[in-house]
Amino acid sequence: MSEDAEGDRDETPHARETTAFRLVPRSARDSLNDPRGGIRLIATDLDGTLLDPSGHVTARTRAALDAARAAGIVVVPVTARQPIGLRAIAEEAGFDGWALCGNGAYGIHLTTHEQLFATEIAVPVQQRIARELAALIPDLLFASVRGAGEVFVAQAGYAEVAAHGDHKRDPATMGAVPLAEVLAAPSLKLVIRHAAIAPAEIFDALGSLEQTGFEATLSGAPFVEVMAEGVTKATGLAQLCAELGIDRTEVLAFGDALNDVEMLRWAGHGIAMANAEPEALAAADAVTSSNAEDGVAVVLERVLAG
């Protein structure tokens, strides 16, 4: 997140503006009147944001995304998911270009499989996290995401507490290795969970550790997600925009959870869903309808209509 992001943030509470969408621009030069000039890139979270409660893209939302693309606007999924989880809904959403995965840890092209960038957690940092957390919360379980998001290395016992929807993978394919093996190679994302303890409690414990070498967040999943230091959806989006020659003031971003906060603050126009977590609501410029009410489509239709 750039240093000026919060300085330009309108502090008016937007959590009440759920049915009457109103955009609060960052500066006088920001405009949504010409979607091809004011907005050049749409960055959207998936679960709880673009996808409906059943985890799918509705016909209305797909039509809005297609209309944005037809207007020359780049549409980019920015998600905690890995490519395997994106492929499950790419056809529904029409995603065939760049995607930001692992909460901004790496950018990958969904068609060519080109990797634009990747930022990994160093092995010593992972080992320190596991050692220090074990002293606070016994019996934690870890998994490592590697290899452009295609490799998932899970500690023995992890698959037993995981469901297919957690990582869009069959738990039977996750493997079962000693913790030392999970931590032996750098990770794009390190996943931490417990059979009985809530992710929020693990997240709070992580916050009590020395904050060096890693970033931690929650996405609404039943685990805590750890990335390399400084990695957020905002940093990943900034790298992609630099590659595409797009300024942050030309970005319209949608999100609903704690892991979307930095992106909503960084983007020229940050929109939270009505169902968003309080942190996301506070970070956004405006609030749209919930994901159950095609909130993303509501905004895009009005943007494209000028």
Nearest to 100 by CA among 226, 2, 213, 232: 232
Backbone angles phi, psi at 161, to 5 degrees: -105, 0
Cα–Cα distance measured from residue 119 to residue 104, given in angstroms and rounded to the nearest whole number = 9
Given a cut of 60, whether residue 163 has pLDDT beyond it is yes
Give the pLDDT of residue 7: 34
Can you give the residue ranges of every domain in the chain?
Answer: 41-118+232-305, 123-228
User: For residue 278, is pLDDT > 60?
Assistant: yes
The fold of 123-228 is 3.30.1240
Q: What is the pLDDT of residue 16?
A: 31
Residue 255 vs residues 13, 262, 285, 291, 296: alpha-carbon distances, Å:
17, 10, 11, 10, 9
Q: Are strands 189-193 and 224-228 parallel, antiparallel or unpaired?
A: antiparallel
Report whether 144 contacts 187 (CB < 8 A).
yes
> Which has the closest alpha carbon to 187: 88, 86, 101, 78?
101
CATH number (3.90.226.10, 3.40.50.1000, 1.10.3430.10, 3.40.1440.10) of 41-118+232-305 reads 3.40.50.1000
Strands (E), 179-266: 189-193, 214-217, 224-228, 251-255
pLDDT for position 15: 33
pLDDT at 283: 98
Q: What is the reported pTM?
A: 0.87
Return the amino acid letter for 173.
Answer: T
pLDDT, tens digit (0-9, with 9 covering 90-100), for 2-27: 333 333 333 333 333 333 344 433 33
The pLDDT of 214-233, averaged and rounded, is 96
Who has greater pLDDT, 291 or 175?
A: 291
For residue 36, name the pLDDT band (cuts at 50, 70, 90).
very low
**Poorest-confidence range of 84-88, 199-203, 255-259?**
84-88
pLDDT single digits (tens) 45-77: 999 999 999 999 999 999 999 999 999 999 999
Residue 135 structure tokens: 């002293």
Summary mean pLDDT of the chain: 89
Q: What does the pLDDT read at residue 49?
A: 98
Rounded to whole angstroms, how far apart are CA atoms 247 and 212? Answer: 30
pLDDT by residue (tens digit) across 84-113?
A: 999 889 999 999 999 999 999 999 999 999
User: Which pLDDT does position 306 carry in this prediction?
Assistant: 80
